[in-house]
Amino acid sequence: MTGAASQACFVDTPEDFCAVILASTVGARLFPLTSIQTPKHLLPMAGVPILLRLLRVIQASSFASCVVVVAPDDVATIPLLQEQANVTQLAAQPHPVWNIAPPDADPNGTISSAMKLTVFRLTEDCPGSVEALRQVETAALVDRASHMVVLPADLVVLGLEETLPHLVHTHRQALLQATLEVERVEPACTILLADVGEQDEHGLPLKESAKQKKGGLAREEEEIEYVALSYESEKDNSPRVVWKQPKIDVEEDRDMTGATPKLVLPKPRLRQGCITRVRTDWSDLHVYVFAPWVRRLITSRTGLVSLQEDLLPLLISRQFQGVVETFGSKADKDILDEVLKLNTKTENTLTESNLLDGSTNTEIHRLSTPRQSETAAPEGKRYSVLARVVQSSALRAHSVASYLYASKEVSSRAVQDPTVTNTDPCLFVPNGTSHKPKYQSVFLPDVQMGDKVTLKSCVVGRRCQIGTKCRLNNVVLMDDVVIGENTILQNSIVSRHSVIGENCNLNDCQVGPNQMIAPMTKEKGETFLEA
């Protein structure tokens, strides 16, 4: 990615957009790789902690500020940021606040300015993601008029141009377009979806079980959803989300009635003249842009717990009824009056510098000048929930399988063009890292390797030692790992400071930190826990 290309696609995101990273869970699905000392967002991805990689992507997307939300008992995130991020402390209390300077190795100026970073420690364990955002709102860390971009800390971005800048652009353009409409249906939320559909050699859709056999990433059953998107035209790149429900809820007879499960799409959500598509291969990346009034909804409706299970279904179902109905009959009238006026107040802050190329001067003038009818929002004002669909440019490393797959994708793309590791914020690697096209692998500094070693699609951590005649395929070795002679590893992850004995054969295994695997061990699908 060249500097010129990236600058053409980037969207200026001043204080009217703020990033919030939810990094408050350890990552149970990544056990035994994770712990309180090493939560999932600090696991290395090609030698760089996932959180640091994500922060660089956010900074390269021109965000001026970012909030990282950590657990009450988190002991590792702040020390790591102080040690490895190029930060200057602005404040220590009540929350650590830093400036993250642009990276030194960025000759094309992809990241040109500093970003303010606030680390917010939750006061107590949260039952869900909405409660975490509620605590952020209570602490007043984000300007009340800002749109909030919420991201999971395990997000791995492989292509910057298609993800955060264009997600923000989709949301912003919908805001601007609404000012030209009589009814002014503004976006309350814009969701980032990944198209994970794959086809076989005959053009037929691949089942999840077949994806893994072909070297892809298979989703678990509970991750699959039916998603219905409504397009105004074939060229519409910001469709409306009219329905979203887990596949299990649709296809299982939970009430034990014996009736055949059916997919039921409410007829009022089908818009005349629009194209509605229903698919199960749009994957929710848990990246959302929320309008300011939705943030007010979070603090007002304390019964909301989960973004995916509570807030999003509420917004999707009530978007055709209005803001008042979304808050409910028990909402305070003063809060509703404030919310209904909030959008009008913030719209006029959007200026010509906020737009990508393509808007005419006439349009900009019309968008920045409110009409007389805009001075008061209509009662029960309707809104929309939009989606931005990307193609294989982002995924979540929230399970062992997805972490291994993400590591392979980052390393393989870095090997294909090592020069991008100095300029592409998605693929950068530590200084001293070597790329081995022969092995399609990435080697971090100070690796020792014996003779007749065969590797393919591997990430080898710092100071690792690999014995003679070893064979490694699709393996992640974290720092200070020792592999004995004549050992075979496939589709496996070995945590730091672990030792694998000679003549071992491990397939689809996870080795926790500080493990000693006896020589001649042969296992498949095994988890080796920390003693």
| Predicted confidence (pLDDT) per residue in 361-372, tens digit | 333 333 333 333
What are the start and end residues of each CATH 2.160.10.10 domain in the chain? 433-528
The pLDDT of 297-311, averaged and rounded, is 94
What are the start and end residues of each CATH 3.90.550.10 domain in the chain? 3-198+222-253+271-396
The confidence score (pLDDT) of residue 345 equals: 52
pLDDT beyond 90 at 528: yes
Indicate the burial class of 495 (C-beta count within 10 angstroms; 0-12, 13-18, 19 or more). Answer: buried
Dihedrals phi, psi of 147, to nearest 5 degrees: -85, 135
The pLDDT of 438-460, averaged and rounded, is 93
The confidence score (pLDDT) of residue 353 equals: 40
Measured over the CA atoms of residue 441, residue 444, residue 445 and residue 450, the dihedral's sign is negative
pTM above 0.85, yes or no: yes
**CATH class (in words) of the domain with range 3-198+222-253+271-396:** alpha beta
- The more confident residue out of 479 and 234 is 479
The confidence score (pLDDT) of residue 381 equals: 81
The pLDDT of 324-335, averaged and rounded, is 82
pLDDT beyond 70 at 318: yes
The confidence score (pLDDT) of residue 456 equals: 93
β pairing state of 48-49 and 44-45: antiparallel
The confidence score (pLDDT) of residue 182 equals: 64
pLDDT band for position 160 (cuts 50, 70, 90): confident
| Predicted confidence (pLDDT) per residue in 40-57, tens digit | 999 999 999 999 999 999
**Among candidates 140, 144, 124, which has minimal Cα distance to 132?**
124
Percent of the chain with pLDDT over 70: 86
The pLDDT of 98-118, averaged and rounded, is 71
The confidence score (pLDDT) of residue 10 equals: 38
Percent of the chain with pLDDT over 90: 55
| Predicted confidence (pLDDT) per residue in 68-84, tens digit | 999 999 999 999 998 88
When the candidates are 1.10.490.10, 1.10.287.3510, 2.160.10.10, 3.30.590.10, the CATH number that belongs to 433-528 is 2.160.10.10
The confidence score (pLDDT) of residue 4 equals: 37
Dihedrals phi, psi of 341, to nearest 5 degrees: -95, -15
**Side chain identity at residue 364, one-letter code:** I
| Predicted confidence (pLDDT) per residue in 379-400, tens digit | 458 899 999 999 888 999 999 9
